[in-house]
Structure 1
Amino acid sequence: MSGVIEGMLRRIPLFSGLADTELAPLALRCRRRLFPSREALFHEGDAGQTLYLILSGHVNIQRETPDGSIVHVARRGPGDHFGELSLFDDLPRSADALTDTACDLLMLDRRELLFFLETHPQVSWAIIRTLSSRLREASDRMVSSETRDVLARLAACLLESAEAGTPDTRGHIRLDGLSDGRLAQRIGATRETVNRRLSRLKQMGVLRRDGTTLIVQNTERLRTLC
């Protein structure tokens, strides 16, 4: 089993540069779990004791405001890791983590991670680079929310999901599970406003609906709209 997990770790950019002799002991310390969609992995305020590594699937990082509204923070996919912040500052989780799709995850406990980092500084630097990138991402998102209109934010959200999908023979990409309400949460708009913008995108030929599934027909036009 450790050999299987070792191969999985090599698919995670954070550990891809390590030699087999370095990956093997780390694989012994990882736990693998499958989670269904819409499963809470942790909540804001929980103690942070685990680093999560995504093998497949997507996870939403979000926060709930005092009035019960959901603020989308980020969406993590295959190869990403999350949950590291609380492991380093000893503070509670700063957001909720909820699976957006069925997920295959590796989990590494805080004690095991910190022990590993002491002897593998290159991984420490990789984590620092990731945190730096996410700070820039948060800054860009703040600017985006202030300067982009709803259509541009919606186009960016749909493009991000489409780029994680697989095109069919016509170049179309199916996006399952993206209801108007969930899109509204992710871009900071009302459900009604998102519904109107989706109708506009359908009129433009950018996407169409197949039941509850959105089908992106023109990613380049989405990119332009961003």
Structure 2
Amino acid sequence: MSRSLHLDATRRSLVTPMLFSALDRGLQAHLVRISHLREFADGQIIQQRGDAADGFWLIDEGAVRVGQFMPDGEFRAVALLGPGDSYGELAVFADKPRIVDAISRGESRLRLIGARPFLDALGNYPASSRALLGALSQQLQDTLSILAGLRRGTNPQRLAGMLATMAGEAAGPASVTITQQELADLLGVTRATANAALGDLQKRRLIERGYGTIRIPDRDALAAHALR
């Protein structure tokens, strides 16, 4: 039976580990208890580039598009994040203004975990500090791998890899709810180019397109195509 992977309650577009997930369970529970729960409407701005890094965000429900607003006002997404994902920790560690914008995709609920309470609590969990170093190292490696991948492979292959990531690891068919414009943003191409890449994958019977939905009959076959 197919599982539906909607971005308001599903996996993210990135393979990099979220730093919050690397923390000790006890520390995670403590941070959730002291967090401030906030609700956002579809399209509402959660944070803007240049904001002070007064904390980091943990997604409780819904989805968030992370990227930057262009000079013409267009929002260019670089990642789609879902429940359980966190972002903004690096700005907290660096004590520098935020470098990305974030907007809600549909209605969402997020927890803001204050910078000072987080850093103070982290000192009581030395194992979590070591785990964070490991997660940060893996994030850097994954980022370098993604940048290298942008220089190789065709657009259909790059798109295949992204959709395979969104489909998760479980066997069997899956469906991903995402727009062509969002796919174009994530690939860094025009909508027409993204549409052509989708058409190529459909001809190869690696995906089936529906209105706002992409069905993936065989995730492993799609992932294998990305590596050719």
- Report TM bin, short chain: 0.7 to 0.9
Equivalent runs, 1:126-205 vs 2, <5 Å: 126-163=131-168, 171-176=172-177, 178-205=178-205
Which amino acid in 1 is paired with 2:176? L
Hey, what's the Cα distance between the residues in 2 that align with 1:211 and 1:34? 28
Q: Is the 8 A contact 2:32 2:111 kept in 1?
A: no
| Pairing partner for 2:52 from 23, 35, 47 | 47
**TM-score, normalization: structure 2?**
0.78
Q: Is the 8 A contact 1:72 1:187 kept in 2?
A: no
Hey, what's the Cα distance between the residues in 2 that align with 1:15 and 1:34? 24
Identity %: 28
Alignment partner, residue 79 of structure 1: 84
Higher alpha-carbon Rg: 1
Tell me the SS of whatever aligns to 1:13.
Answer: helix
Hey, what's the Cα distance between the residues in 2 that align with 1:184 and 1:190? 6
Q: Aligned pair count?
A: 207
Alignment of 1:112 with 2:113, yes or no, is no
Gaps of 5+ in 1: 1-11
Alignment of 1:13 with 2:13, yes or no, is no
Hey, what's the Cα distance between the residues in 2 that align with 1:62 and 1:88? 20
CA shift digits 1:66-90 (9 cap, x unpaired): 5766554334333332101121222
CA shift digits 1:87-132 (9 cap, x unpaired): 1222110111233454443221111111111222222223222222
Q: Is the 8 A contact 2:24 2:128 kept in 1?
A: no
Gaps of 5+ in 2: 1-19
Instruction: Quote how far apart the aligned CAs of 1:184 are.
Output: 0.8
Equivalent runs, 1:14-29 vs 2, <5 Å: 14-18=22-26, 25-29=30-34
CA 1:160–1:57 in structure 2 vs 1: closer, same or farther (change >3 Å)? Answer: farther
Which amino acid in 2 is paired with 1:214? I
Q: Is the 8 A contact 1:32 1:104 kept in 2?
A: yes
Hey, what's the Cα distance between the residues in 2 that align with 1:223 and 1:213? 18
Alignment partner, residue 5 of structure 1: none
Hey, what's the Cα distance between the residues in 1 that align with 2:66 and 2:28? 28
Q: Is the 8 A contact 1:29 1:108 kept in 2?
A: yes
